Structure 1
């Protein structure tokens, strides 16, 4: 584990203000799902894991939806590596991706279907893919 720290107090403060829930992509997908008659829980705790949440949870169907930010979760298309304080950022972002894999594996072991989407994906496409899994017959 690296002992590096954020490059400055202003960077640390900016990071702490970064939205981790109710992001624009999450809200856009939730609105589409709700308008289609689907009901779900938001920011639901991952069963058996502390400090982990599911962005959109269909608890009866055991479907966990995560909408990941491209920077924070290592999007293969849009991820960037900061040049300032590069080692600290590399370790931080790798830990985020490892935590995502660990959460996926845990939920799958518990019988959940895990759906992960990137923030840049069109909300309509995301909602359609979710509904196809939650209710393949097309009824909310």
Structure 2
């Protein structure tokens, strides 16, 4: 597990490049809420938008999630807790007025960047 990146994964980098090219500026691997251990992948602090690009394995993608055969009981608990934590994190941030956007790593980076940009521009115009 140690060799798995917490930040700068290929899907994140692809989306960040596209957002940056659009002139959007953001924080990377930033803790927006009260629990400073829970960090979003991309955060727009002024607009209060937290973006998570979840890995299919670690976050239980309905299309691509798998469970290893070795130590299956451990992995079932571990991955279920990850999903629970995702729900808790989203609820905590939304309770504090944040908009939470979650995407899967397999989603098209261009589509993800477009969705984020639309949301950011909507937040800018509503202020």
Interval containing the TM-score (normalised by the shorter chain): over 0.9
Shift of the alpha carbon at 1:138? 9.3
What is the alpha-carbon distance in structure 1 between the residues aligned to residue 23 and residue 106 of structure 2?
Answer: 24
What is the alpha-carbon distance in structure 2 between the residues aligned to residue 74 and residue 133 of structure 1?
Answer: 25
**Corresponding residue for residue 73 of structure 2:** 87
Higher mean C-alpha displacement, 42-51 vs 104-113? 42-51
Runs of 4 or more, structure 1, over 2 Å off, are: 136-139
Secondary structure of 1:49's counterpart equals: coil
**Corresponding residue for residue 25 of structure 2:** 39
What is the alpha-carbon distance in structure 2 between the residues aligned to residue 106 and residue 138 of structure 1?
Answer: 23
Matched, 1:72 2:72: no
Structure number, greater radius of gyration? 1
Equivalent residues of 1:44, 1:56 under 8 A apart: yes
In the comparison of the two structures, how many residue pairs are matched?
125
- Cα–Cα, structure 1 residues 137 and 101, in superposed 2: closer, same or farther, change >3 Å? closer
Shift of the alpha carbon at 1:33? 0.2
Shift of the alpha carbon at 1:136? 3.0
What runs of 5+ residues in structure 1 fail to find an aligned partner?
1-14
Question: What's the RMSD between the two structures over aligned residues?
Answer: 1.5
Q: How big is each residue's C-alpha offset from its partner over 1:65-115, in whole Å with a ceiling of 9 and x where there is no partner? A: 000000000000000011111000000001111111110000000000000
TM-score by length of 1: 0.85
Equivalent residues of 2:32, 2:43 under 8 A apart: no
Equivalent residues of 2:41, 2:53 under 8 A apart: yes
Shift of the alpha carbon at 1:42? 0.6
Secondary structure of 2:8's counterpart equals: coil
